[in-house]
Amino acid sequence: MGTPDFAVPTLQALYQAGFTLPLVVSQPDRPKGRGRKTVPTAVKTAARKMGLTVAQPPSVRSSDFVARLQALEPDFFVVAAMGQILSQELLEIPKIGPVNVHASLLPKYRGAAPIQWALINGEQETGITTMLMNAGMDTGDILLTARTDIAGDDTAQSLHDRLSSMGAELLIETLNGLISNTIAPIPQDDRLASKAPMLKKADGRIDWHQPAAALDCFIRGMTPWPGAFTYMGDRRLKIFDAKPAPLRADAVPGTVVPGFSGELLVATGDQALSILELQEASGKRLPIRDYLIGKPVVTGTVLR
Protein backbone atom coordinates (compact mmCIF):
# COMPACT_ATOMS: atom_id res chain seq x y z
CA MET A 1 0.00 0.00 0.00
CA GLY A 2 1.60 3.22 -1.18
CA THR A 3 1.04 6.20 -3.43
CA PRO A 4 3.90 8.67 -4.17
CA ASP A 5 7.48 8.32 -5.42
CA PHE A 6 8.70 7.62 -1.88
CA ALA A 7 6.93 4.24 -1.88
CA VAL A 8 8.23 3.03 -5.26
CA PRO A 9 11.64 1.70 -4.08
CA THR A 10 9.86 -0.29 -1.35
CA LEU A 11 7.57 -1.90 -3.93
CA GLN A 12 10.52 -2.63 -6.21
CA ALA A 13 12.49 -4.18 -3.34
CA LEU A 14 9.61 -6.49 -2.45
CA TYR A 15 9.29 -7.57 -6.06
CA GLN A 16 13.02 -8.13 -6.53
CA ALA A 17 13.29 -10.06 -3.23
CA GLY A 18 10.75 -12.57 -4.52
CA PHE A 19 7.85 -11.82 -2.21
CA THR A 20 4.44 -12.70 -3.65
CA LEU A 21 2.47 -9.52 -4.26
CA PRO A 22 -1.16 -10.44 -4.90
CA LEU A 23 -2.32 -6.83 -4.74
CA VAL A 24 -0.88 -3.31 -4.83
CA VAL A 25 -3.11 -0.65 -3.27
CA SER A 26 -2.76 3.04 -4.12
CA GLN A 27 -4.76 6.23 -3.86
CA PRO A 28 -7.12 7.07 -6.74
CA ASP A 29 -5.55 8.94 -9.67
CA ARG A 30 -5.95 12.70 -9.35
CA PRO A 31 -5.66 15.76 -11.63
CA LYS A 32 -2.26 17.46 -11.57
CA GLY A 33 -0.52 20.44 -13.12
CA ARG A 34 -1.93 23.49 -14.81
CA GLY A 35 -3.87 21.40 -17.30
CA ARG A 36 -5.45 19.39 -14.44
CA LYS A 37 -4.88 16.19 -16.37
CA THR A 38 -5.54 13.00 -14.42
CA VAL A 39 -2.21 11.30 -13.73
CA PRO A 40 -1.64 7.78 -12.34
CA THR A 41 0.11 7.54 -8.98
CA ALA A 42 3.81 6.71 -8.96
CA VAL A 43 3.13 3.37 -7.28
CA LYS A 44 0.46 2.44 -9.81
CA THR A 45 2.82 3.20 -12.69
CA ALA A 46 5.61 1.10 -11.13
CA ALA A 47 3.27 -1.78 -10.28
CA ARG A 48 1.89 -2.01 -13.79
CA LYS A 49 5.40 -2.21 -15.23
CA MET A 50 5.85 -5.30 -13.03
CA GLY A 51 2.58 -6.78 -14.22
CA LEU A 52 0.99 -6.51 -10.76
CA THR A 53 -2.69 -6.05 -9.96
CA VAL A 54 -3.52 -2.56 -8.68
CA ALA A 55 -6.54 -1.44 -6.67
CA GLN A 56 -7.38 2.23 -6.01
CA PRO A 57 -10.33 2.34 -3.62
CA PRO A 58 -11.64 5.78 -2.63
CA SER A 59 -11.62 4.35 0.89
CA VAL A 60 -9.74 1.26 2.05
CA ARG A 61 -12.26 1.04 4.89
CA SER A 62 -15.23 0.17 2.67
CA SER A 63 -16.80 -3.20 3.49
CA ASP A 64 -16.29 -4.52 -0.05
CA PHE A 65 -12.60 -3.68 -0.04
CA VAL A 66 -12.06 -5.07 3.45
CA ALA A 67 -13.64 -8.32 2.26
CA ARG A 68 -11.35 -8.34 -0.78
CA LEU A 69 -8.27 -8.05 1.41
CA GLN A 70 -9.53 -10.68 3.84
CA ALA A 71 -9.97 -13.12 0.96
CA LEU A 72 -6.28 -12.76 0.06
CA GLU A 73 -5.24 -14.09 3.51
CA PRO A 74 -1.95 -12.13 3.42
CA ASP A 75 0.99 -12.63 5.76
CA PHE A 76 1.78 -8.90 5.67
CA PHE A 77 0.48 -5.53 4.74
CA VAL A 78 3.38 -3.30 3.75
CA VAL A 79 2.46 0.38 3.96
CA ALA A 80 4.63 3.26 2.72
CA ALA A 81 3.08 6.71 2.34
CA MET A 82 -0.33 5.34 1.47
CA GLY A 83 -2.28 8.46 2.37
CA GLN A 84 -5.25 6.70 3.98
CA ILE A 85 -5.79 5.65 7.59
CA LEU A 86 -6.25 1.91 8.12
CA SER A 87 -9.03 0.80 10.47
CA GLN A 88 -8.50 -1.72 13.24
CA GLU A 89 -10.49 -4.19 11.17
CA LEU A 90 -7.93 -3.86 8.38
CA LEU A 91 -4.94 -4.01 10.71
CA GLU A 92 -6.10 -7.38 12.01
CA ILE A 93 -6.15 -9.03 8.55
CA PRO A 94 -2.48 -9.96 7.94
CA LYS A 95 -1.35 -13.15 9.66
CA ILE A 96 2.05 -11.81 10.74
CA GLY A 97 1.34 -8.10 10.79
CA PRO A 98 0.87 -4.73 9.09
CA VAL A 99 4.30 -3.14 8.63
CA ASN A 100 4.80 0.58 7.97
CA VAL A 101 7.88 2.29 6.51
CA HIS A 102 8.11 5.77 8.08
CA ALA A 103 10.65 8.47 7.21
CA SER A 104 11.73 9.53 10.68
CA LEU A 105 13.32 8.18 13.84
CA LEU A 106 10.10 7.46 15.70
CA PRO A 107 8.67 8.58 18.02
CA LYS A 108 9.95 11.87 16.59
CA TYR A 109 7.99 13.34 13.68
CA ARG A 110 4.83 11.32 13.61
CA GLY A 111 2.66 12.45 10.71
CA ALA A 112 2.51 13.19 7.01
CA ALA A 113 5.60 15.39 6.52
CA PRO A 114 8.46 13.99 8.63
CA ILE A 115 11.18 14.76 6.07
CA GLN A 116 10.26 18.42 5.75
CA TRP A 117 9.87 19.03 9.47
CA ALA A 118 13.19 17.40 10.34
CA LEU A 119 14.89 19.89 8.01
CA ILE A 120 12.80 22.89 9.08
CA ASN A 121 13.65 22.22 12.72
CA GLY A 122 17.38 21.98 12.02
CA GLU A 123 17.83 18.33 12.99
CA GLN A 124 21.33 16.93 12.54
CA GLU A 125 20.12 13.43 11.69
CA THR A 126 16.99 11.56 10.70
CA GLY A 127 16.25 8.13 9.35
CA ILE A 128 13.77 5.36 8.65
CA THR A 129 11.69 3.39 11.11
CA THR A 130 9.76 0.23 10.37
CA MET A 131 6.93 -0.43 12.79
CA LEU A 132 3.98 -2.69 13.45
CA MET A 133 0.97 -0.53 12.76
CA ASN A 134 -1.80 0.16 15.23
CA ALA A 135 -4.83 2.44 15.04
CA GLY A 136 -2.83 5.53 16.06
CA MET A 137 -0.91 7.96 13.86
CA ASP A 138 2.56 6.36 13.60
CA THR A 139 2.34 5.08 17.18
CA GLY A 140 2.96 1.36 16.61
CA ASP A 141 5.79 -0.70 18.07
CA ILE A 142 9.21 -0.07 16.49
CA LEU A 143 10.78 -2.95 14.58
CA LEU A 144 14.02 -1.59 13.04
CA THR A 145 15.62 1.80 12.44
CA ALA A 146 18.28 3.16 10.09
CA ARG A 147 19.94 6.56 10.53
CA THR A 148 21.43 9.16 8.22
CA ASP A 149 23.10 12.52 8.87
CA ILE A 150 21.43 15.62 7.46
CA ALA A 151 23.96 17.56 5.39
CA GLY A 152 24.08 21.34 5.23
CA ASP A 153 22.95 21.27 1.60
CA ASP A 154 20.23 18.64 1.97
CA THR A 155 16.77 19.63 0.78
CA ALA A 156 13.51 17.80 1.29
CA GLN A 157 14.05 16.31 -2.17
CA SER A 158 17.57 14.97 -1.59
CA LEU A 159 16.60 13.62 1.82
CA HIS A 160 13.43 12.08 0.36
CA ASP A 161 15.44 10.23 -2.27
CA ARG A 162 17.98 8.93 0.24
CA LEU A 163 15.38 7.85 2.77
CA SER A 164 13.20 6.12 0.18
CA SER A 165 16.14 3.90 -0.79
CA MET A 166 17.01 3.28 2.86
CA GLY A 167 13.38 2.42 3.59
CA ALA A 168 13.31 -0.21 0.86
CA GLU A 169 16.41 -1.95 2.26
CA LEU A 170 15.17 -1.77 5.85
CA LEU A 171 11.77 -3.14 4.89
CA ILE A 172 13.25 -6.34 3.43
CA GLU A 173 15.41 -6.79 6.51
CA THR A 174 12.34 -6.24 8.67
CA LEU A 175 10.14 -8.78 6.90
CA ASN A 176 12.87 -11.40 6.98
CA GLY A 177 13.37 -10.74 10.68
CA LEU A 178 9.67 -11.10 11.41
CA ILE A 179 9.49 -14.32 9.40
CA SER A 180 12.48 -15.77 11.30
CA ASN A 181 11.17 -14.38 14.61
CA THR A 182 14.44 -12.54 15.28
CA ILE A 183 12.95 -9.07 15.81
CA ALA A 184 11.44 -7.98 19.12
CA PRO A 185 9.01 -5.05 18.68
CA ILE A 186 9.75 -2.12 21.00
CA PRO A 187 6.92 0.15 22.25
CA GLN A 188 7.39 3.83 21.49
CA ASP A 189 8.03 6.27 24.31
CA ASP A 190 5.20 8.77 23.88
CA ARG A 191 7.05 11.28 26.06
CA LEU A 192 9.60 11.72 23.25
CA ALA A 193 7.01 12.08 20.49
CA SER A 194 6.73 15.06 18.16
CA LYS A 195 4.42 15.76 15.25
CA ALA A 196 5.00 16.36 11.54
CA PRO A 197 1.67 17.66 10.25
CA MET A 198 0.86 17.90 6.56
CA LEU A 199 2.07 21.11 4.90
CA LYS A 200 -0.01 23.52 2.83
CA LYS A 201 1.19 25.93 0.14
CA ALA A 202 0.65 28.87 2.48
CA ASP A 203 3.09 27.35 4.98
CA GLY A 204 5.97 28.18 2.64
CA ARG A 205 5.82 31.95 3.25
CA ILE A 206 9.09 33.25 4.66
CA ASP A 207 9.07 35.13 7.96
CA TRP A 208 12.06 37.42 7.70
CA HIS A 209 12.06 38.03 11.45
CA GLN A 210 13.42 34.51 11.94
CA PRO A 211 17.22 34.05 12.30
CA ALA A 212 19.14 33.48 9.07
CA ALA A 213 20.19 29.94 10.04
CA ALA A 214 16.56 29.02 10.74
CA LEU A 215 15.51 30.45 7.37
CA ASP A 216 18.21 28.40 5.63
CA CYS A 217 16.71 25.26 7.23
CA PHE A 218 13.19 26.43 6.40
CA ILE A 219 13.96 26.97 2.71
CA ARG A 220 15.66 23.59 2.38
CA GLY A 221 12.78 21.91 4.18
CA MET A 222 10.24 23.53 1.85
CA THR A 223 12.12 22.59 -1.35
CA PRO A 224 10.69 21.40 -3.68
CA TRP A 225 7.21 21.44 -2.08
CA PRO A 226 5.37 23.46 -0.98
CA GLY A 227 8.20 25.87 -1.77
CA ALA A 228 9.54 28.80 0.27
CA PHE A 229 8.28 32.13 -1.04
CA THR A 230 8.14 35.84 -0.36
CA TYR A 231 6.75 38.93 -2.07
CA MET A 232 8.62 41.83 -3.64
CA GLY A 233 5.81 44.30 -4.14
CA ASP A 234 3.20 42.27 -6.00
CA ARG A 235 5.78 39.83 -7.43
CA ARG A 236 5.84 36.41 -5.81
CA LEU A 237 9.38 35.03 -5.52
CA LYS A 238 10.04 31.37 -4.83
CA ILE A 239 13.39 30.87 -3.07
CA PHE A 240 15.22 27.60 -3.78
CA ASP A 241 18.61 28.19 -2.22
CA ALA A 242 20.10 30.65 0.26
CA LYS A 243 22.78 30.87 2.93
CA PRO A 244 23.38 33.03 6.01
CA ALA A 245 25.71 35.99 5.55
CA PRO A 246 27.04 38.82 7.74
CA LEU A 247 24.78 41.85 8.19
CA ARG A 248 26.96 44.93 7.91
CA ALA A 249 24.41 47.44 9.23
CA ASP A 250 21.15 47.32 11.17
CA ALA A 251 18.08 46.94 8.97
CA VAL A 252 14.45 45.95 9.37
CA PRO A 253 14.01 42.21 8.65
CA GLY A 254 13.04 41.66 5.01
CA THR A 255 14.99 44.69 3.78
CA VAL A 256 17.45 44.30 0.90
CA VAL A 257 20.84 45.47 2.18
CA PRO A 258 24.04 46.40 0.31
CA GLY A 259 26.09 43.53 -1.06
CA PHE A 260 28.60 42.73 -3.78
CA SER A 261 27.71 42.80 -7.46
CA GLY A 262 25.47 39.86 -8.38
CA GLU A 263 24.50 39.33 -4.74
CA LEU A 264 21.09 39.73 -3.10
CA LEU A 265 21.29 40.11 0.67
CA VAL A 266 18.18 40.37 2.83
CA ALA A 267 18.15 41.34 6.52
CA THR A 268 16.70 38.73 8.88
CA GLY A 269 16.11 38.52 12.61
CA ASP A 270 19.85 38.43 13.24
CA GLN A 271 22.17 38.25 10.20
CA ALA A 272 21.53 38.57 6.50
CA LEU A 273 20.39 35.85 4.12
CA SER A 274 22.10 35.63 0.74
CA ILE A 275 19.59 34.51 -1.88
CA LEU A 276 21.31 32.13 -4.31
CA GLU A 277 18.51 30.82 -6.54
CA LEU A 278 14.95 31.98 -7.13
CA GLN A 279 12.01 31.99 -9.52
CA GLU A 280 9.25 34.46 -10.26
CA ALA A 281 5.73 33.20 -10.87
CA SER A 282 5.60 31.84 -14.46
CA GLY A 283 9.33 32.58 -14.82
CA LYS A 284 12.43 30.40 -14.98
CA ARG A 285 14.37 29.13 -11.99
CA LEU A 286 17.56 31.22 -12.06
CA PRO A 287 20.85 31.68 -10.20
CA ILE A 288 20.68 35.05 -8.47
CA ARG A 289 23.34 36.63 -10.68
CA ASP A 290 21.33 35.82 -13.82
CA TYR A 291 18.13 37.09 -12.23
CA LEU A 292 19.68 40.42 -11.20
CA ILE A 293 21.02 41.06 -14.71
CA GLY A 294 17.47 41.19 -16.02
CA LYS A 295 15.78 42.62 -12.91
CA PRO A 296 18.06 44.58 -10.60
CA VAL A 297 16.85 44.92 -7.01
CA VAL A 298 17.38 48.27 -5.30
CA THR A 299 18.88 48.41 -1.81
CA GLY A 300 16.13 49.25 0.66
CA THR A 301 13.49 47.18 -1.13
CA VAL A 302 11.39 45.33 1.44
CA LEU A 303 10.40 41.68 0.98
CA ARG A 304 7.35 40.57 2.88
For 77-106, what is each residue's pLDDT tens digit?
A: 999 999 999 999 999 999 999 999 999 999
CA–CA separation, 192 and 190 (whole Å): 5
Residues 31 and 144 occupy one common structural domain: yes
Looking at the fold, whether 206 and 286 belong to one and the same domain comes out as yes
My answer on whether 133 and 249 are in the same domain is no
238 shares a domain with 266: yes
Task: Note the pLDDT of residue 182.
Answer: 98
pLDDT over 90 (residue 152): yes
Q: Are residues 214 and 178 part of one domain?
A: no
Which ranges constitute the DSSP H helices of the chain?
Answer: 8-16, 42-49, 63-72, 88-91, 114-120, 156-179, 212-222, 288-294
Residues 66 and 171 in one domain: yes
Q: Are residues 259 and 159 in the same domain?
A: no
Within 13 Å and on the Cβ side, how many CA atoms surround 231? Answer: 5
DSSP letter, residue 70: H
DSSP symbol at 238: E
Q: Are residues 278 and 129 in the same domain?
A: no
Under DSSP, the state recorded for 137 is S
Shared domain check, 59 and 18? yes
End-to-end CA distance of the chain: 41
Q: CATH number for the domain including 212?
A: 3.10.25.10
As a whole number of angstroms, the distance between CA 78 and CA 95 comes to 12
Residue 302: per-residue pLDDT: 98
223 and 130 share one domain: no
Please check whether residues 79 and 171 belong to one and the same domain: yes
Question: What is the model's pLDDT at position 135?
Answer: 92
Residues 206 and 271 in one domain: yes
User: Which positions ≥6 away from 206 have C-beta within 8 Å?
Assistant: 215, 218, 219, 228, 229, 230, 239, 303
- Per the structure, how many domains does the chain have? 2
The 10s digit of each residue's pLDDT in 45-73 is 999 999 999 999 999 999 999 999 999 99
Q: Are 109 and 117 in contact (CB under 8 A)?
A: yes
Query: 62 is in which domain, residue-wise?
Result: 5-192
Residue at 115 is within a domain = yes
Stated pTM of the model: 0.95
| Section 273-279 average pLDDT | 98
